[in-house]
Each structure stands twice: as C-alpha cells, then as structure tokens.
C-alpha cells in the first residue's frame, strides 16, 4: 500500500520547493517527475540528436537508466550511473525539454518509470500530469498556480542562486513557451484535475503554501 500526494502546476508555481519541504516534514519520498524528462533531454544533447529525430529520441528514453535519490538538502539525479543533478538544470536542457517531453512514446516510458518509483511507498510526486494521468487515484491532489510574471521572477532568482546564467527576459520567454507547449500535449498535458485543490501561490510565502498543503494532507487521512 502506498499513500500518494500529487502536485501539478506550471513552471515556477512553487511545486519543487513545496514538495521538498513537505517530504521532509512528513517523511514522504519526493519524486520530481520533471527531472526524468530532463534526463532524456540531456542525453539528446549528449548524443547530439536532432529534435526532429523522434525515433532516436524514443530510443534514448527506452535505453537510459534514471535514478533519483532523496537527500535532506535536495535530490541527486543519476543518468546511466552519473550524477547529473546540475547538468539537467542547464539552460540548453531547459530549452528543449518541453518538446522532448511532448513525444508520446517518451511520456509512456517515463510514466511507467514514475509509477515504478512510487510502488509500495508513501510519496509526494510533482509534475504536470500527476493527478490527471500518472496517479488519477492519488490520495491528495493539489494544483499550484501563480501569475506568469511572478513565476518568472522566482525562476530567475533561483537561477541566480544556482549560477545559471539567463536574463529575466530569457526566463520569462522560456516559461511562456513551455506553458504553451505543456498545455497542448497530446497526452499528459498540463491541466488541473477536476478533483484537485487549487492554490494560487502568487501572493503567498513558501511557509504559507506548505502549511496549507499539510492541512489538506492531514484532512485526507492517515499516512499508512
Ligand atoms: O518541472 P520542470 O520544469 O523540471 O519540468 C521540465 C519539463 O518536463 C516541463 O517543461 C514539462 C515536462 N514535464 C512533463 O511534461 N510532465 C511532467 N509530469 C513533468 C514535467
């Protein structure tokens, strides 16, 4: 048996930060599904595969090995045994990850992996399609949102802290483009599940959002 908290929302809505905090506070395993798509995108760059070569990209998704290890101060992501935690956040990866994740076959392979990660565990899983597609029967379903400008501001600040060089305008344009792309996928597109609880984080602090989500989880019942 497992207890599943799904958190969906667009880039910069706060999913990553919130999920990590809640995982630490409630002792849940945190799975950032975006990092699985980022691993595929990184390998596409490593192998110098063109974005229109769907067949090769699907082959990459089929053959790579992805592992996520939860640590108190952040996750470590392994791609074919190598620590790629930093590399998957590179600007070049961010630019191509949305089109890579739009390929249906890539999604099917990643969703299977994400479900496997969750087997028999109490987890908090964040992404775009967790409550609609990956775990439609999740015990708790949350959708985080915020204005485009606020999301871009957060991501810009986060990038500066991580020494990722992108101007505010570049970040804003990238998020806008990814929103568009993420909402129009054939499967697993970004949308709120009918039974998800919406939290607009635009004017909320991280602590306020964490508190709200923990209250919702506690109302949903015992974590087994
Ligand atoms: O959350 P993120 O920015 O790391 O996600 C990277 C990309 O992966 C994002 O542009 C959309 C895609 N993604 C997805 O399609 N489905 C998910 N469940 C998670 C991420």
User: Looking at the predicted structure, is the pLDDT value of residue 73 above 80?
Assistant: no
Length of the chain: 224
Q: Identify which of 8, 15, 97 to mutate to test ligand 1's pocket (most ligand atoms within 8 A of the CB).
A: 97
Residue 173 makes CB contacts below 8 A (sequence gap 6+) with: none
* Residue 38 Cα: closest atom of ligand 1: 6
Q: What percent of the chain has pLDDT over 70?
A: 98
Angle between helices 104-118 and 54-63 (to 10 degrees): 10
Kindly state the average pLDDT of the residues 106-131: 96
- What's the confidence (pLDDT) of residue 224? 60
Predicted confidence band of residue 181 (pLDDT cuts 50, 70, 90)? confident
- What's the confidence (pLDDT) of residue 83? 98
For ligand 1, atom 11, name the residue with the nearest CA.
Answer: 98
Q: Identify which of 9, 34, 85 to mutate to test ligand 1's pocket (most ligand atoms within 8 A of the CB).
A: 34
Closest to 83 (Cα-Cα) out of 96, 94, 71, 69 = 69
Which residue in this structure is represented by tokens 């991501």? 155
- What's the confidence (pLDDT) of residue 187? 83
Positive or negative, the Cα torsion across 98, 183, 143, 151? positive
Check residue 72 and report its DSSP letter.
Answer: T
State how far the alpha carbon of 36 is from the alpha carbons of 4, 136, 168, 222, in Å.
18, 19, 26, 29
Where is pLDDT greater, at 97 or 223?
A: 97
Ligand 1 centroid vs 133 CA: distance in angstroms? 14
d(CA 111, CA 130): 9
Ligand 1 centroid vs 221 CA: distance in angstroms? 29
State how far the alpha carbon of 16 is from the alpha carbons of 8, 21, 53, 60, 151, in Å.
10, 9, 30, 25, 12
Strand order in the sheet with 123-127: 29-32, 123-127, 4-8, 140-145, 197-200
Q: How high does pLDDT run on average in the chain?
A: 94
Q: Identify which of 57, 74, 89, 101 to mutate to test ligand 1's pocket (most ligand atoms within 8 A of the CB).
A: 101
0.85 cut: is pTM over it? yes
Q: Is 182 in the pocket of ligand 1 (CB under 6 A)?
A: yes
With b meaning 16 or more CB within 10 Å and e meaning fewer, what string describes 185-220?
beebebbbbeebeebebeebeeeebbebbeeebeee
Q: Residue 204 corresponds to which tokens in the numbers above?
A: 């909320």
- What's the confidence (pLDDT) of residue 175? 94
For ligand 1, atom 3, name the residue with the nearest CA.
Answer: 11
Closest to 110 (Cα-Cα) out of 177, 39, 23, 6 = 39
């Amino acid at each position: 048996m497992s207890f599943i908290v799904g958190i969906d929302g667009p880039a910069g809505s706060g999913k990553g930060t919130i999920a990590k905090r809640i995982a630490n506070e409630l002792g849940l395993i945190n799975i950032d599904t975006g990092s699985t798509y980022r691993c595929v995108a990184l390998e596409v760059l490593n192998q110098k595969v063109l974005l229109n070569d769907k067949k090769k990209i699907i082959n990459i998704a089929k053959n790579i090995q992805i592992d996520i290890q939860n640590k108190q101060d952040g996750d470590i992501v392994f791609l074919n045994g190598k620590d790629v935690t930093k590399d998957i956040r590179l600007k070049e990866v961010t630019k191509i990850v949305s089109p890579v994740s739009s390929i249906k076959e890539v999604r099917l392979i990643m969703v299977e992996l994400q479900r496997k990660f969750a087997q028999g565990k109490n987890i908090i899983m964040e992404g775009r399609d967790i409550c609609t597609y990956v775990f439609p029967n999740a015990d708790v379903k949350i959708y985080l949102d915020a204005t485009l400008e606020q999301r871009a501001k957060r991501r810009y600040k986060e990038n500066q802290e991580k020494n990722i060089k992108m101007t505010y305008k570049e970040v804003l344009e990238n998020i806008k483009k990814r929103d568009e792309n993420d909402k129009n996928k054939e499967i697993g597109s970004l949308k709120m599940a009918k039974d998800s609880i919406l939290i607009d984080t635009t004017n909320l602090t991280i602590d306020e959002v964490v508190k709200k989500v923990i209250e919702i989880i506690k109302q949903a019942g015992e974590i087994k």
